[in-house]
Amino acid sequence: MSNDFADLLSRWVSRPSAPTRPSANDEESTMGAPPYKKPCMMNTISHGANEEDDIKIDKALELTDEQAKLVAEALIQDDSTFQGVRIKDIYKVAIDKNDDLPPATAQKIRRWLDDKYFLTTDEEVPLLMTTSIIRDADGDTEQVDSKKDYLMVIPADCKLDLTNVPDPYDNPDLRRSIMLIAHDSLLGAHGNTESMAAKIMEFCWWPRLMSDCREHRVRCPSCRPTTYKMAVGRLPSTRRRFLWYAIDHKELNDKIKERLNLPQESAIVSAVDMGTGEALFQYVPSHSSRHVVIFLWTRIISVHGPISHLHSDQGGSLISETMVGLSK
């Protein structure tokens, strides 16, 4: 029995004998159909989690002195630009550590500071703050006098993580951690870049904020656009299963090698069955074909039998050396 025919039978058997529309006289009556649920009914409760335990952006941005020092160091080195002016130049002028800047750039920064578009905090470690430019009908700027209405400027490449989530690459980033908090703890943020950016801009800001939010959403496995725009492809033929394999070496991150004291030539060898899509991975201390031969023999050939075809993105040298090793 084919899968299509079995699916048709299952739909036919499970079809209700009466219309699924609920009765107009009795709301509890379903007329033989499955229980009626409104489209808006959904479970918004996280099982086993306390709402008070969720990380909030405003609470996370209450930095300690050590965290503020990391942010200040990143601000001094931030090369990201706003209207052609680097963030580090704005910060240096704001804290009176001005370097030799072009007169036009220095004048633009001082005008921003005078108009309170940017300012620094009064803490021991001053941080850069900004605000949205609000104009009335006459074109005049409405000044925001309360500092609580200002947004913290988040520098690039700041080695600070606010999520307390282990990073497998030991590469914490302040901007990425803020996007994680706004994207994964905000109801409705998945699939909506605007709500994510709006939530972030309630408390902080940085150049290219919208672009970073779009890139973060694309990498999200729950709501990236390619997951629902990609058409269902043609399934591979299972007649060639366990016969055609693609083998390659995957390089390890240098920080992982240093942390685990691995050889510099160590890598991960992968073998993908082109008939079924099954992938196998194994650590190898070097790129030698000898380790690939042992991997193929112990993980594939001893289980599924001999291989008929091999190919690799690394060229024919790896394939030829591997085939010679398998023939011995």
pLDDT at 20: 41
Average pLDDT over residues 62-75: 92
| Residue position matching structure tokens 């084919």 | 2
pLDDT tens, residue by residue, 88-108:
999 999 998 776 788 888 899
Kindly give the interhelix angle for 209-219 and 174-184, rounded to the nearest 10 degrees: 60
Please calculate the CA angle 260-262-266 and round it to the nearest 5 degrees.
135
**Percentage with pLDDT > 70 across the chain:** 67
Is the confidence at residue 318, as pLDDT, over 70?
yes
Alpha-carbon span 245 to 121, nearest angstrom: 60
Residues 6+ apart with CB under 8 A from 230: none
Pairing of strands 244-251, 309-311: parallel
pLDDT tens, residue by residue, 133-165:
544 444 454 544 555 678 999 999 898 888 766
Average pLDDT over residues 121-142: 70
> Three-state SS for 268?
strand
Q: Which of 75, 201, 196, 55 is nearest to 126 (CA)?
A: 75
CATH, range 238-327: 3.30.420.10
Alpha-carbon span 147 to 127, nearest angstrom: 12
Average pLDDT over residues 48-62: 62
Q: In terms of pLDDT, which residue wins out, 226 or 162?
A: 162
φ/ψ of 280, rounded to 5, equals: -120, 140
Largest Cα–Cα distance in the chain? 86
Token pair of 177, please?
Answer: 């951690």
Report which listed range, 28-32, 48-52, 62-66, is most confident.
62-66
Mean pLDDT (the chain, rounded): 74
